[in-house]
Structure 1
Amino acid sequence: MSDLLLTTFRFDVRLIASAEVIAGRQRLPGAQGGYSEPQGSQTLGSGAFQEVSGLDIEMDVQDYIEGGRNNGIVRRVGRAKYVPLVLKRGMFHAPKDDARVNTELWHWLQRIVNGVRPVRRYDGVIHVMGADGTVRASWVFDRGLPQKIKGPELNARTGEIAIEELTIAHEGLRLLPAEAPL
């Protein structure tokens, strides 16, 4: 039983270039009926974070008052609302052969703020990592935009990390099926 307890979590986050939306349809590059992760220059970055929140989906339920039905109302499905993801206390890494922190995330937001169009969007994969380094669960979000980036309070004594908080607004969230039971 103690083997099943997860005492330490780490969240691995990857940002991958979104496919362009054409005629209301979108599909990840190379996807054949499901999710496949593009390689190379389409990836903005990969990082590790200590805290992830916003894995929420809320659906509007609309009330319909049907004539002649006095014992209740009909409830109908409405639109889904996605809460922005908040990633706390982490950093995006540069390529493995480079010891520097990846600054592309900051440049992505700066390009949008400076009016560079078209706006580049990124899909993302959030992996929940167990203490042994295995992936325990994965969520995928669609067409993310950086809503807020908060850097650390700079203090030479603390050795703070590169990103204190990153908020990403997105257009969809899915939990990937587990490949193996926990």
Structure 2
Amino acid sequence: MPETRNPEGTTGQWSDPYTSFHFAIDINGVTEGRFVECSGLGVDVEAIKYREAGANQIVHRLPGRVEYADLTLRYGMSRSMQLWRWMQASVAGTVERRNVSVVMFGHDGATEVMRWNLRNAWPRTWRGAPLDALGNQVAVETLVLVFDELERVPAGGGGEAVAEG
């Protein structure tokens, strides 16, 4: 009997999970940004319930609306105004939709292993860095993005210039 191969790994062979701290954010049109955290990446599919006529005890479910979670980016505040200007366009009502990629790197911190592409993203929320005269933390701002589509691409998906995380 010929040996069958699992395209996502070899049966019986251990594969270490990726670490969450080797990542980058690629925002079309933004060349600066030191991102320290990326959270909220997700998707929900509504489950529409219905009962079949004559079999009321059975509840069936069908897939309904798709809703993507908001993506929250935290980044070190710097002299760069690129992310602020992008947010200001939303405030002014002239939303600038951009493609954004969340890129995950392998254990070496340099080899791309996974990429999530967010299509038509735009900023909906900005939060300034907390200021504390007694603290010694880096000033970190928060930007929340909404988007229309999400795609997950394994290693080698290509892309544009990447702002390091």
TM-score (norm 1): 0.65
1:4 Cα offset (Å): 4.3
Q: Structure 1 residues 131, 152: closer, same or farther in 2, change over 3 A?
A: farther
Q: Could you say what secondary structure the match of 2:54 adopts?
A: coil
Residue by residue over 1:13-33, the C-alpha shift from the partner in whole angstroms, topping out at 9 and shown as x without a partner, is 1112xxxxxxxxxxxxxxxxx
SS at match of 1:176: strand
Task: Supply the AA of the counterpart residue of 1:113.
Answer: V
- The root-mean-square deviation of aligned C-alpha atoms, in Å, is 3.0
Show the 5 A alignment for 1:61-80. 61-80=47-66
* Structure 1 residue aligned with 2:27: 15
Between the aligned partners of 1:48 and 1:11, the Cα distance in structure 2 is 11
Question: What is the Cα deviation at residue 51 of structure 1?
Answer: 1.9
Unaligned runs of 5+ in 1: 17-42, 93-99
Q: Which has the higher contact order (CA 8 A, sep 6+)?
A: 2
Alignment of 1:103-122 (within 5 A): 103-115=81-93, 117=94, 119-122=95-98
TM-score where L is the length of structure 2: 0.70
Offset, 1:159? 6.1
Q: State how far apart, in whole Å, the 2-side matches of 1:142 and 1:129 are.
A: 21
Flag structure 2 segments of 5+ consecutive residues without an equivalent: 1-12, 158-165
One-letter amino acid of the counterpart of residue 126, structure 1: V
Give the 5 Å matches for 1:2-151: 4=16, 6=18, 9-16=21-28, 43-88=29-74, 90-91=75-76, 101-115=79-93, 117=94, 119-132=95-108, 133-151=110-128
Q: Does 1:164 align with 2:141?
A: yes
